[in-house]
Amino acid sequence: MSAAGRGRVGGARELLGRTAEALALTWRSGPLSCLSYALLAVVQGLLPAGIALLTKWLLDRIQHGSAAAGPEPMSLVAGLGALTTLYALLPALSEYARSRLQRGILLVVQDRLYGTVNGFTGMARFETPSFLDRLRLAQEAAFSAPERITTSLFAIVQQLLTVAGLIAVLFTVSPLMTLVTVAAALPVLLVEVALSRERARVMFSLSARNRRQLFYQRMLLDLAAVKEIRLFGLGGFLLRRMNEETSLINAAEEQLDRRSLLRQTPLTALGTLIAAGGLAWMIMAAVRGEFTVGDVSAFIASVAGVQGALVALLLQCTGAYHSLLLLGHFTDVTTAGPDLPVPAAPAPTAPLRSAIAFEDVWFRYDEGGPWVLRGVTLTIPAGSSVALVGLNGAGKSTLVKLLCRLYDPDRGTVRWDGVDLRDMDPARLRDRISAVFQDYVEYDFSVADNIGLGDLEHREDLARIVAAAERAGAHELVSALPRGYGTLLSRIFADEDEGGNGAETTGMTLSGGQWQRLALARAMMREGRDLLILDEPSAGLDAAAEERTHERLRAYREGATSLLISHRLGAVRRADAIVVLDGGRITESGTHAELMREGGVYAGLFTTQAAGYRDTGSAQSTKTTRTTEDAGQC
């Protein structure tokens, strides 16, 4: 992690590096916008000096007539008119250029950040809280930091040019008064430097609080949380917590503002006193004929202009510093490199011919954490159906993650027809697999897209989508929806009405079990894959739907390689092999009949489940073995 990632910019080199990075991003977003914005900054920076100089010349002409130096009065009036018009118009033009630049930068930065995240082939980073935190900060940075750094830099250049220009004009009038102008600006400058450092420190110290405040805000608006928040009456609690955080942030900011005020006021007064003293002295000297009225006007313009420009410059520096801190998170994420090593010349991923094999696989999520898989050795022969059972937390879903190469084992190997998964391109491997996960996704798309996303290449093939829905037992429910496969499933987006006249109707949503059938249909879309993974594919289905779904799945899996995870043991009993995972170890394996004969963990679980389905009266008069065999089919 870089220093910036830890919340501070390292040395000048790191600071310059980040600045260069922001400028490069800006340049990539549109060289023309970048150049026009820079040009506008330069012109605006020089304008105050130009106006001050022309005003001085004009006043001198009025006072001394042709004896005074400088162009003709009419040319001066025209020039002054042109410069003041530019002075009035350029900020609007500049704002237009800035917005254009901002839009361009957003596109570049968004593509860079999300492209990088999409390039993480594994899951570990998404399940690591510290990385997720960094990702959130990087997201925040992506949308503001590069643009702010660039605009701050251009504004700094503009203010520097203003200061230099005004001082140069004043120097031609009086080097002594130039010194007075700088002296008048110095106290404010010094206090602003100290304050800007303090501001950055306070803002950083508040960042954790800001994130907590954001968390409470999100919870209070989160659709998924509404039910539980209402039922448990958590709204007031979350609201209080949010307000507490806001009050503490407000208090810290108030304290900072008070300190700023206390320090700024006397020093600003001191600066004003120096300027006023200088002005009084100059006016007396002008009365004695040592200065012209134009000189006095140049002095007044310079004092006000230099002070204003220096304060603006410091504010821009503070803003740029804060944005550079944020950009560190963006850089950390976008330069994090691959999470899983992918060989430069991956082994070809051929259709599965022989078997998938776990060879003494050990895995844990964190170094130093508990082992989740402990020496798993398991073979899934091509064309066979294997069921994985075990208690909660036994490691079943973890094993699936390794099989899809979302993680690599810490020890041991997973092989696809003898080839180590680490030697394969993960994208090619996953292209050979279809899956329904326990935590399947509900996409805010149409029904057709929710199914079609299973195979992007055939996303528009309605016949294939319908066939997949039929296999998953979802066709009937989809047909009953108001717009069938075209129905938008969303609570976030609105749908266009059927007349296509642009009117919007609210999207609709499904029940948990109905969503699960769509997830199953999505997996069925992936025809011609070598391995089907079903991780609790029927957990949300009603009893009748579950029975029918498993029948269909059995037919679909016939002769194909599949791995089924289910706590409903009636659904796994017909698998070619049932494997029991206990505490990350395989403790039993065999067919249903073999495991029942063994009378081990599986037999115990199966009997317990079956007993739950038995009618108490009849159960008392029925022999256990026979009854469990029947009940297990539920």
568 is a contact residue toward ligand ATP (CB under 6 A): no
Query: Tokens for 613?
Result: 């389905």
Applying CB under 6 A, which of residues 396, 432, 471, 517 lies at the interface with ligand ATP?
396
Q: Nearest approach, Cβ of 397 to ligand ATP (angstroms)?
A: 3
Contacting range for ligand ATP; rule: CB under 6 A; set: 207-215, 317-325, 392-400, 488-496: 392-400
Contacting range for ligand ATP; rule: CB under 6 A; set: 151-159, 386-394, 448-456, 494-502: 386-394
With beta carbons less than 8 A apart as the criterion, state whether 496 and 504 touch: yes
Q: Nearest approach, Cβ of 340 to ligand ATP (angstroms)?
A: 15
363 CB-near residues (< 8 Å, 6+ apart): 371, 372, 373, 398, 402, 407, 409, 410
Helix crossing, 207-221 with 175-205: angle to 10°? 50
Q: Nearest approach, Cβ of 396 to ligand ATP (angstroms)?
A: 4
Q: Using CB under 6 A, which residues numbered 466 to 495 contact ligand ATP?
A: none
Closer of 15 and 605 to ligand ATP (Cβ) = 605
Task: Give 221: exposed, middle or buried? Use CB within 10 Å, 0-12, 13-18, 19+.
Answer: exposed
Please work out the total of residues on this chain that contact ligand ATP, with binding judged by CB under 6 A.
Answer: 12
Q: How far is CA 319 from CA 117, 135, 186, 206, in A?
A: 27, 21, 21, 16
Binding mask 411-450 for ligand ATP (x = CB under 6 A): ---------------------------x------------
Applying CB under 6 A, which of residues 2, 246, 272, 397 lies at the interface with ligand ATP?
397
Q: Nearest approach, Cβ of 512 to ligand ATP (angstroms)?
A: 16
Closer of 126 and 204 to ligand ATP (Cβ) = 126
The Cβ-side half-sphere exposure at 391, using a 13 Å CA radius, reads 9
Closer of 95 and 133 to ligand ATP (Cβ) = 133
Classify each residue of 448-480 as buried b or exposed e, where b means 16 or more C-beta atoms within 10 Å of its C-beta: bbbbbebbeebbeeeebbbbbbebbbbbebbee
With beta carbons less than 8 A apart as the criterion, state whether 450 and 469 touch: no
Say whether 565 sits in a helix, a strand or coil: strand
Query: Tokens for 399?
Result: 């094993």
109 CB-near residues (< 8 Å, 6+ apart): 25, 142, 143, 146, 330
Q: Nearest approach, Cβ of 91 to ligand ATP (angstroms)?
A: 51
Query: Tokens for 111?
Result: 């593509």
Applying CB under 6 A, which of residues 398, 487, 514, 561 lies at the interface with ligand ATP?
398
Closer of 101 and 394 to ligand ATP (Cβ) = 394
Q: Nearest approach, Cβ of 472 to ligand ATP (angstroms)?
A: 21
Binding mask 355-384 for ligand ATP (x = CB under 6 A): ----------x------x------------
Say whether 579 sits in a helix, a strand or coil: strand
Q: How far is CA 250 from CA 50, 191, 322, 372, in A?
A: 43, 22, 19, 45
Applying CB under 6 A, which of residues 104, 395, 454, 537 lies at the interface with ligand ATP?
395
Closer of 106 and 391 to ligand ATP (Cβ) = 391
DSSP-derived pairing of the beta strands 419-420 and 411-416: antiparallel
393 is a contact residue toward ligand ATP (CB under 6 A): yes
Q: Nearest approach, Cβ of 551 to ligand ATP (angstroms)?
A: 24
Query: Tokens for 51?
Result: 């106006």
Q: Nearest approach, Cβ of 395 to ligand ATP (angstroms)?
A: 5
Least Cα distance to 324 among 114, 189, 150, 115 occurs for: 150
Q: Using CB under 6 A, which residues numbered 79 to 138 contact ligand ATP?
A: 127
394 is a contact residue toward ligand ATP (CB under 6 A): yes
Site residues, ligand ATP (CB under 6 A):
127, 365, 372, 390, 392-398, 438
